[in-house]
Amino acid sequence: MTTTAAQPPGPAVLQLSRSVAQLTADLVDIESVSGDEARIADAVEAAVRRYGSLSVRRLGNVVVVRTELGRPERVVLAGHLDTVPIADNLPSRLAGGRLHGCGTSDMKSGVALQLRVLDLIGTAALEPAVDLTWLFYDCEEVESARNGLNRVAAEHPELLRADLAILLEPTNGTVEGGCQGTMRARLSIAGRRAHSARSWLGSNAIHSAAPLLQRLADYRAREVEVEGLSYREGLNAVFIEGGVAGNVVPDRCLVTVNYRFAPDRSEAEAEQHLRSVFSGFELTVLDSAPAARPGLDRPLVRRAVQALGGEVAAKLGWTDVARFSALGIPALNFSPGDPNLAHRADESVELAQLERCERLLVGFLEHSSGAGTN
Amino acid sequence: MTTTAAQPPGPAVLQLSRSVAQLTADLVDIESVSGDEARIADAVEAAVRRYGSLSVRRLGNVVVVRTELGRPERVVLAGHLDTVPIADNLPSRLAGGRLHGCGTSDMKSGVALQLRVLDLIGTAALEPAVDLTWLFYDCEEVESARNGLNRVAAEHPELLRADLAILLEPTNGTVEGGCQGTMRARLSIAGRRAHSARSWLGSNAIHSAAPLLQRLADYRAREVEVEGLSYREGLNAVFIEGGVAGNVVPDRCLVTVNYRFAPDRSEAEAEQHLRSVFSGFELTVLDSAPAARPGLDRPLVRRAVQALGGEVAAKLGWTDVARFSALGIPALNFSPGDPNLAHRADESVELAQLERCERLLVGFLEHSSGAGTN
């Protein structure tokens, strides 16, 4: 919703008292492709430091904010600041009751919700029934090793400690439990280099990738039920590369695949499955992150589901709920973004849904105490 | 044959009076991957300018040298200074009667022959029966538009004018006539981007490349006889690329193919053939260069074949003989390099063959006059 396409030269400024829609647009208009989050992290830090009642820590491009109200329970609101690469879809644009642009759905609308709650509590307009921790972090859209929340979980696990974490990842305004695991692996196909004018002396590694790609094209993904929620898997090539020069038969072709697996499989079982699918090909696991079970057996989780709309479905994308699960903290996904629009050039978020989610979240935090109701 | 792997910091120095083997090693040890020929062109220019009887022109990274002896016929000796990318095969290394290293075969042994002839004529040790033009040029191993000889042919065609051109491209010490054409085309496969955790909402362009690669793997190349010489064709993927991010179903996959075609096909017919092989896929021709017929009907060509060993075969690689053919100048390929070793990490040249080629070439130039023999 800016009027110029170019980024302003100075530091970005955020006013957290604006409407959640306007705040989302302001966040979207600060480009923050993974690895390039310094500017948006600076803007968030500067904005939250204006509230004297909150403690603020900056760790790289992660910003952690906490209340210390002495409440018996603590809830984390967590969201990542980065986006996938821009696809000619900035600056943001308002049309048909929706805000369009890179990150509108995944997940700057969620970050805007975090910041709206922070503004209300920081100005004492909202008296929460729980203590709150806000985690704003970098590099969620790239390999697990660079993930800012991962780093904080490893180096300062006390900052994540809570009774419930709510991740503002896109869920279309419903609660989604657990998450699928994700594993990236590289398949390497070897050939023999030769001049392309005498190609019969070589062996073309790109041609030899045909049966591998055919296996991917033919692959039928599982649909698995876990704790009553249905998880649909997926196996995709996400990169392919090969070639030496325009007149050389290439001696190597590399295919990177991404496997999304249901919470009934461990990372070891996921790897075993990939090795079976790609038997005969050289496979190296690049990175992986475990799936998380829904964890709907805790009272605070059930109260959250109730307050946030009453329904819960399986989370199909991998999210950082798995990092909280690994620390024994139940975690839900909830935000207005449409996961089906995430990472697409036509990404957008519905403003009515965004405002509804703000109301539900504020309502949950005002009345989330379990005292006398459980 | 240098003792250190690093390039010396100063300008490279060439002594043309050294043995043809040593001169080849000196040339090989000056790295000159396509696009990076300034240093070797400087070295060649500096070396040839020491001979006062020869006229020298520098055009970009092309060096043109001419005798003006008033002979009735003129022969061009042409060779390119660039190589394909280094494959951990520098500096050069002498073993088993062969010189090993990037460019030993294709075609610094040929450039060494050019320079040896130049040294003999420049110091009046060889009295040639014809006038000579030497063309040393850049960017032969990359797309046609960058080729230095192509540029000179377009801008200064008078510098190519001759009654016969001998290209010192690898022929294993025999004469090879004509050449195959070459065409590069890009095949573009479209998909629909989506988050890889919800891949059923997208369409994976890399998976969709499977049938295209299978057509390449299944392709059976023609063998064609032209003017009694047998030309074997080839069709190869030389590059493949696709991918947006590690968690995105890619919406595009690009495959670049290189088609080598016999002299019975024009460039238009070659394109038609590719469009037929890849019907159903979006194809764009990137560049092409025509094939050349052997052209064995000219007396000077027949005398050259006779003097250079008496045998002639089809040239399978594309060479710049086609550029001379286009100007009506008959052209042969002749040099000690082994075309089957060109562009390979284990590229090498046999020293005995190198010395034999020097003797044959000098002999031809001394006695090449047609007077009284035709």
Residue finishing a domain among A258, A273, A289: A289
Rounded to an integer, the average pLDDT of A334-344 is 90
pLDDT at position B113: 98
CB-CB neighbors (< 8 A) of B345 in chain A: 193
Please tell me the least confidently modeled range out of A7-21, A107-121, A131-145, A209-223: A7-21
Give the C-alpha separation, B92 to B320, whole Å: 26
pLDDT at position B297: 79
The verdict on ipTM greater than 0.85 is: no
Sheet of B175-177, strands arranged across? B55-59, B62-66, B131-137, B74-80, B164-167, B331-333, B175-177, B312-314
CB-CB neighbors (< 8 A) of B319 in chain A: none
Per DSSP, which regions of A106-162 are E strands? 131-137
pTM: predicted TM-score of the whole model, two decimal places: 0.70
Helix (H) / strand (E) element for A74: namely: strand A74-80
CB-CB neighbors (< 8 A) of B106 in chain A: 195
- Nearest chain B residue to A208 by CA distance is B217
- A349 and A229 share one domain: no
- Apex CA B25: angle with CA B24 and CA B28, to 5°? 85
Q: Could you confirm whether B140 is annotated as catalytic?
A: yes
Residue A106: DSSP 8-state: I
Q: Looking at B131, B140, B271, B350, which residue is catalytic?
A: B140
| Residue pLDDT, tens place only, A190-200 | 999 998 998 99
pLDDT at position B155: 94
Q: Could you confirm whether A73 is annotated as catalytic?
A: no
Backbone angles phi, psi at B332, to 5 degrees: -120, 155
Q: Is the pLDDT of residue B119 over 70?
A: yes
**Cβ–Cβ contact B186 with A under 8 A:** no
Contact assignment for A180 to B201 by CB distance below 8 Å: no
Per DSSP, which regions of B20-106 are E strands? 55-59, 62-66, 74-80, 93-95, 98-100
Closest alpha carbon to A290 in A315, A316, A261:
A261
- B55 and B187 share one domain: no
- A280 and A296 share one domain: no
Residue of B142, B213, B216 best to disrupt the A interface, most CBs of A under 10 A? B213
Q: List, in order, residues 6 or more apart from B189 with CB less than 8 Å away.
A: B205, B208, B209, B212, B242, B252, B253, B254, B255, B281, B282
Helix (H) / strand (E) element for A121: namely: helix A109-122
Cis peptide bond N-terminal to A183, omega within 30: no
pLDDT above 70 as % of chain B: 95
pLDDT at position B9: 57
Contact assignment for B197 to A180 by CB distance below 8 Å: yes
Query: For residue A2, is it within any domain?
Result: no
Q: Got the DSSP string for A6-62?
A: SPPSS-----TTS-HHHHHHHHHTS--BTT--HHHHHHHHHHHTT-TTSEEEEETTE
Cis peptide bond N-terminal to A170, omega within 30: no
Backbone angles phi, psi at B155, to 5 degrees: -95, -30
- A256 and A301 share one domain: no
Q: Is the pLDDT of residue B369 over 80?
A: no
- B297 and B333 share one domain: yes
Could you give the C-alpha distances from B355 to B20, B302, B337, in angstroms and in order? 7, 23, 12
Residue of A171, A206, A231 best to disrupt the B interface, most CBs of B under 10 A? A206
pLDDT at position A144: 80
Residue finishing a domain among A289, A314, A346: A289
Residue A320: DSSP 8-state: T
User: What is the CATH classification number for the domain harbouring A195?
Assistant: 3.30.70.360
Give the C-alpha separation, A281 to A233, whole Å: 22
Backbone angles phi, psi at A105, to 5 degrees: -90, -45
Radius of gyration over alpha carbons of chain B, in Å? 22
**Cβ–Cβ contact B1 with A under 8 A:** no
User: What is the CATH classification number for the domain harbouring B324?
Assistant: 3.40.630.10
Q: Is the pLDDT of residue A371 over 60?
A: no
Structural domain harbouring B330: 20-179+292-367
Q: Is the pLDDT of residue B372 over 50?
A: no
Half-sphere exposure of A194 (CA within 13 A, CB side): 20
Give the C-alpha separation, B335 to B321, whole Å: 14
pLDDT at position A200: 93
Beta strands A248-249 and A194-195 are antiparallel
Query: For residue A127, is it within any domain?
Result: yes
pLDDT at position A254: 98
Query: For residue A12, is it within any domain?
Result: no
Q: Distance from A290 to chain B by nearest Cα, in Å?
A: 14
Contact assignment for A198 to B142 by CB distance below 8 Å: no
The CA-to-CA distance between both ends of chain B, in Å, stands at 45
Secondary structure (3-state) at B8: coil
Do A303 and A332 contact (CB within 8 A), yes or no? Answer: no
- Nearest chain B residue to A246 by CA distance is B238
Closest partner residue to B209 (CB to CB) among A204, A213, A247 is: A213
Query: For residue A316, is it within any domain?
Result: yes
Q: Which of residues 114-173 of B touch A (CB under 8 A)?
A: 141-143
Q: Is the pLDDT of residue A372 over 50?
A: no
Q: Both tokens of residue A272?
A: 């075993």
Give the C-alpha separation, B100 to B28, whole Å: 9
Give the C-alpha separation, A316 to A231, whole Å: 6
Q: Both tokens of residue A111?
A: 């970050």
- A88 and A110 share one domain: yes
Query: For residue A13, is it within any domain?
Result: no
Q: Is the pLDDT of residue A210 over 70?
A: yes
pLDDT at position A178: 86
Query: For residue A11, is it within any domain?
Result: no
Do B245 and B202 contact (CB within 8 A), yes or no? Answer: no
Helix (H) / strand (E) element for A363: namely: helix A351-366
Query: For residue B374, is it within any domain?
Result: no
| Residue pLDDT, tens place only, B304-360 | 999 999 999 988 888 889 889 888 888 899 999 998 888 889 999 999 999 999 999
Q: Is the pLDDT of residue B5 over 60?
A: no
Closest alpha carbon to B67 in B27, B126, B108:
B126
Q: Is the pLDDT of residue A189 over 50?
A: yes
**Cβ–Cβ contact B214 with A under 8 A:** yes
Q: Which residue has the tokens 């959640």?
A: A20
Q: Phi/psi class of residue B60: alpha, beta or left (left: φ > 0; alpha: ψ in -120 to 50)?
A: left
Band of residue A299 on the pLDDT scale cut at 50, 70, 90: confident
- A61 and A154 share one domain: yes
| Residue pLDDT, tens place only, B121-145 | 989 899 999 999 999 999 999 987 8
Q: Which of residues 5-64 of B touch A (CB under 8 A)?
A: none
Beta strands A55-59 and A62-66 are antiparallel
Counts for chain A of helices (H) and strands (E), in that order: 9, 19
pLDDT at position B6: 52
Q: Is the pLDDT of residue A4 over 90?
A: no
Backbone CA torsion sign across A104, A105, A111, A114 = positive
Q: List, in order, residues 6 or more apart from B152 with CB less than 8 Å away.
A: B59, B62, B64, B135, B137, B159, B160
More reliable by pLDDT, A367 or B164: B164
More reliable by pLDDT, B11 or B210: B210
- B136 and B275 share one domain: no
Query: For residue A196, is it within any domain?
Result: yes
Neighbours of B345 (CB within 10 A): 14
Helix (H) / strand (E) element for A113: namely: helix A109-122
Closest alpha carbon to A320 in A174, A172, A160, A201:
A160
Contact assignment for B196 to A246 by CB distance below 8 Å: no
- A174 and A207 share one domain: no
Contact assignment for A242 to B243 by CB distance below 8 Å: no
Contact assignment for A343 to B240 by CB distance below 8 Å: no
| Residue pLDDT, tens place only, A137-178 | 999 999 888 999 999 999 999 999 999 999 999 999 999 988
- B57 and B190 share one domain: no
- A38 and A110 share one domain: yes
Q: Got the DSSP string for B265-315?
A: S-HHHHHHHHHHHTTTSEEEEEEEE--B---TTSHHHHHHHHHTTS-EEE-
Band of residue A10 on the pLDDT scale cut at 50, 70, 90: low
What single-letter amino acid sits at A27? L
Rounded to an integer, the average pLDDT of A14-40 is 97
pLDDT above 90 as % of chain B: 78
Residue finishing a domain among B289, B306, B340: B289
| Residue pLDDT, tens place only, A62-77 | 999 999 999 999 999 9
Residue B202: DSSP 8-state: S
Do A167 and A321 contact (CB within 8 A), yes or no? Answer: yes
| Residue pLDDT, tens place only, A79-108 | 999 999 999 999 999 999 999 999 999 999
Q: Which of residues 228-247 of B touch A (CB under 8 A)?
A: 232, 234-247
Domain count along chain A: 2
pLDDT at position B242: 98
Q: Looking at A29, A106, A140, A347, which residue is catalytic?
A: A140
Q: Looking at B37, B45, B82, B233, which residue is catalytic?
A: B82
- B140 and B189 share one domain: no
Give the C-alpha separation, B113 to B354, whole Å: 8
- Mean pLDDT, chain A, as a whole number? 92
Q: Is the pLDDT of residue B251 over 50?
A: yes
